[in-house]
Amino acid sequence: MRTFDYTQEVPVVEGQPSAKSLDEVVSSPLDTKPGKIWKILITVTTLMLLVGAGALVWTFYKGIGVWGNNQPVGWGFDIVNFVFWVGIGHAGTLISAILFLLRQRWRTGIARFAEAMTIFAVMCAGIFPAIHTGRAWLDGYLFPYPNANHIWVNFTSPLLWDVFAVSTYFTVSLVFWYIGLIPDFATLRDRTDNKIKKTVYSIFSLGWRHSTRHWQHYEKAYMILAGFATPLVLSVHTIVSFDFAVSVIPGWHTTIFPPYFVAGAVFSGFAMVQNVLIFVRQAFNLKHIITINHLEKMNQVIIVVGTMVGYAYAMEFFTAWYSGNQFETFTFINRALGPYAWAYWTMVTCNVILPQLFWSKKIRTTIWTMFIIGIIVNIGMWFERFVIIVTSLSRDFLPSSWGMYTPTIYDIGILIFSFGLFFTNVLLFVRTLPSVSIAEVKASVDGAQPSHRGGHH
């Protein structure tokens, strides 16, 4: 049996690359012409965008009656997709903020990318509540501003808390991401000979000159932002879960929802980040910066939160039985055995059973196996939201008001639109901005810090 030396931490960056070579390897996608694969991929994602935009425009023209939403299932794909995408975003903040506060140095290689994915995922998420209102052009009323009608929003509604949570989350993530980019913009500015690029980088680097008198405040601000982003990310999915938990619908009205939703969010987010990182490290020669060790650690996080999610599924059944409430009990029996049982068992298989394969070190360090499990986890997490929303609404208290839900092609089209938007953004991002934080990686290469200060801390 192999023995591991647990006293020695695996180096964050393999092979001690020089600072100059880091500059080169990270900025090479920005300086070179895109290859064939990138062009094929962006064509595919743009097509997805266009097809989905058709569905969106038709929805705007005709109204949301073209969707499958009905009475009693008033929340369908719109809210399923919203919760799914907000969840995807959570991995980025977890990696960039929580792991930063926990001094997990391995995060440096993947933090920038994960943050970018947070921003894109929240953009995708934002589409759904915005169009779900029916007349997206009136969404300005979601914000409390002194309008001519003298009407204020309802501050006691979880749906309004959502407006604040998601918009704050997006803004703070964007600021956090941008702050991280400033030193890299300066490095790019000083490398390039292209006049246009130089102007753009100069504007965005805000005159940065790597001065210690700036680094000092910069590090403080970064720490403060990480400190705020940590409770923020927990609050966002908590508040999303309040949309359900504060109602009285059986299967929604439970106090386990906030932690259960947060764990699920991190679960799906990590799976998505892991999937996309596998492509990026392959395509842009970043294998020594985004190492197998990184991916393995992500897979370990996936199995931890995946097991939490599995526990929550079990606990929901226990609570339904233990409460003695007949509606609650029925809802859960209906989930496992009712007309949507296929969705329920897809969810359990994808989220609880298959991720257990990650207990094997071979499976969690092999690229193709972890990639497939990552995709499976995301399918499972999408179905989790579908199961929670649709099964609870389709059969609640009165059997006479039960009804089934079937999505229409416009629902599916808008889902495709959101995936198109996400991956188009990811593809544009890897070509236009440094997808790895140059300054942070330089600082965590072995030998980058003064020796007499006791090295890293």
Partner 1 sequence: MNTKKIYSIGGLFDTPDGITKAAEDAVKEGYTKFDVNTPYPVHGMERAMNLKPSLLGFITLFVGLSGAAFAFLFMYWVSVMDYPLIIGGKPFFSWPAFVPVTFEVTVLSAAVGTVAVMIALVFKFPNNSHPLHDTNYMKNVSSDKFGLNVVYIDPLFDESKVKDFLSRAGANNIEVIYEPERKPLRVFDPKFIGLLVMLVLLTAGVTYFTLNKLLYMPPFTWMAVQDKLSSQSQNTMFADGYGMRNPVEGTVARGFTPYEFKGQPDSVVKNLSNPLPFTKENIDKGKLRFDTYCSPCHGYYGKGDSRLNGQFPNPPTLHSDKVKNWSDGNIYHVIVNGQNVMPSYAKQISKDDRWAIIHYIRVLQRSLNAKDSDLETKKQ
Residues 182-211 that bind partner 1 (CB under 8 A): 183, 186-187, 189-191, 202-203, 206-211
To partner 1, the closest distance from the beta carbon of 395 in angstroms equals 25
Output 179 or 367, the one with its CB closest to partner 1: 179
Question: Could you say which residues in the range 25-64 bind partner 1, by CB under 8 A?
Answer: 63
Least CB distance from residue 86 to partner 1, whole Å? 14
Options 86, 95, 232, 277; binder of partner 1; rule CB under 8 A:
232
Name the residue nearer to partner 1 (CB basis): 190 or 296: 190
- Which residues 247-276 are close enough to bind partner 1 by CB under 8 A? none
> Given candidates 46, 66, 123, 164, which one binds partner 1 under the rule CB under 8 A?
164
Residue 359: is it exposed, middle or buried by C-beta count within 10 angstroms (0-12/13-18/19+)? Answer: exposed
In the range 268-327, which residues lie near partner 1 by CB under 8 A? none
Q: Which of residues 60-89 bind partner 1 (CB under 8 A)?
A: 63
| Span of 69-77, 228-236, 291-299, 317-325 interacting with partner 1 by CB under 8 A | 228-236
Closer residue to partner 1 (CB): 161 or 405 = 161
User: Least distance to partner 1 from the beta carbon of 341, Å?
Assistant: 34
Distance of CA 126 to the CA centre of its chain: 13
116 versus 427: smaller Cβ distance to partner 1: 116
All residues at 6 or more sequence positions from 25 whose CB lies less than 8 Å from its CB, including other chains = 17, 284, 285, 286, 289
The residue within the footprint of partner 1, chosen from 16, 171, 247, 432 (CB under 8 A), is: 171
- Sequence-distant (6+) residues with CB within 8 A of 241 are 257, 258, 260, 261, 262
Question: Using the rule CB under 8 A, is 361 a contact of partner 1?
Answer: no
Cβ atoms of 26 and 436 within 8 Å: the answer is yes
User: How many binding residues for partner 1 (CB under 8 A)?
Assistant: 74
- Which tokens go with 370? 């972890």
Q: Applying CB under 8 A, which of residues 16, 32, 154, 323 lies at the interface with partner 1?
A: 154
* Cβ(67)–Cβ(139) below 8 Å: no
Degrees (nearest 5) of the Cα angle 431, 437, 443?
150
SS3 label, residue 132: helix
* Distance of closest approach, residue 100 Cβ to partner 1, in angstroms: 13
Q: What is the DSSP string of 362-401?
A: HHHHSHHHHHHHHHHHHHHHHHHHHIIIIIHHHS-S-GGG
Show the CA angle centred on residue 331, arms to residues 247 and 157, nearest 5°: 10
Cα(181)–Cα(192) distance, integer angstroms: 16
Compute the least distance from the CB of residue 228 to partner 1, in Å.
5
Calpha distance 380→374 (Å, rounded)? 10
**Site track for partner 1 across 386-425, x = CB under 8 A:** ----------------------------------------
Q: How far is the CB of 259 from partner 1 (least distance, A)?
A: 16
- Which secondary structure element, helix H or strand E, spans residue 277, and what is its range? helix 257-283
The CB-of-176 to partner 1 minimum distance in angstroms stands at 8
Q: Which of residues 94-153 bind partner 1 (CB under 8 A)?
A: 135, 137-138, 140, 144, 147-148, 150-152
- Calculate helix-pair angle for 341-348, 367-386, nearest 10 degrees: 140
| Least distance in angstroms from the C-beta of 241 to partner 1 | 12
Task: Copy the structure tokens of residue 357.
Answer: 């394969």
